[in-house]
Amino acid sequence: MVVANRKMHGSIPANQLFLRELLAQTRDFKNADYVVCVPHPYLYQVQAMLSGSHIAWGDQHMSRFTLGAHTGSVSASMLLEFGCQYTIIGHSERRAWGYETDITSAQRYETAIRAGLKPIYCVGDTRDEYMAGETHKVTYKQLSAIVEHVGVEGLAKGVLAYEPVWAIGTGQAATPEHVQSILGYLRSQIAALDAKLGAEIRILYGGSVNAKNVLQLFCMPDVDGALVGAASLNKEQFIAICKAANEATDDRCALLVADD
Using CB atoms, what's the residue nearest to ligand PGA?
229
Contacting residues toward ligand PGA, per CB under 6 A? 5, 163, 168-169, 206-209, 227-231
CB 190, min distance to ligand PGA, A = 21
Of 75 and 124, nearer to ligand PGA (C-beta) is 124
Closer residue to ligand PGA in complex, CB, 75/135? 135
Distance CA 88, CA 158 (A): 10
Considering beta carbons, is residue 119 or 207 the nearer one to ligand PGA? 207
The least CB distance from residue 192 to ligand PGA, in Å, is 27
Q: Which is nearer to ligand PGA, 154 or 229 (CB)?
A: 229
Residue 35 CB, shortest distance to ligand PGA, in Å, is: 12
3-state SS, the chain, equals CEEEECCCCCCHHHHHHHHHHHHHHHCCCCCCCEEEECCHHHHHHHHHHHCCCCEEEEECCCCCCCCCCCCCCCCHHHHHHCCCCEEEECCHHHHHCCCCCHHHHHHHHHHHHHHCCEEEEEECCCHHHHHCCCHHHHHHHHHHHHHHHHHHHHHCCCEEEECCHHHCCCCCCCCHHHHHHHHHHHHHHHHHHCHHHHHHCCEEEECCCCCCCHHHHHCCCCCCEEEECHHHHCHHHHHHHHHHHHHCCHHHHHHHHHHC
78 burial (CB, 10 Å; 0-12 / 13-18 / 19+) is: middle
Closest separation between CB of residue 7 and ligand PGA, Å?
Answer: 7
What lies within 8 Å, CB to CB, of 47 at 6+ separation is 57, 82, 83
Residues designated as active site: 91, 163
CB of 25 to ligand PGA, least distance (A): 20
Nearer to ligand PGA, 42 or 75 (CB): 42
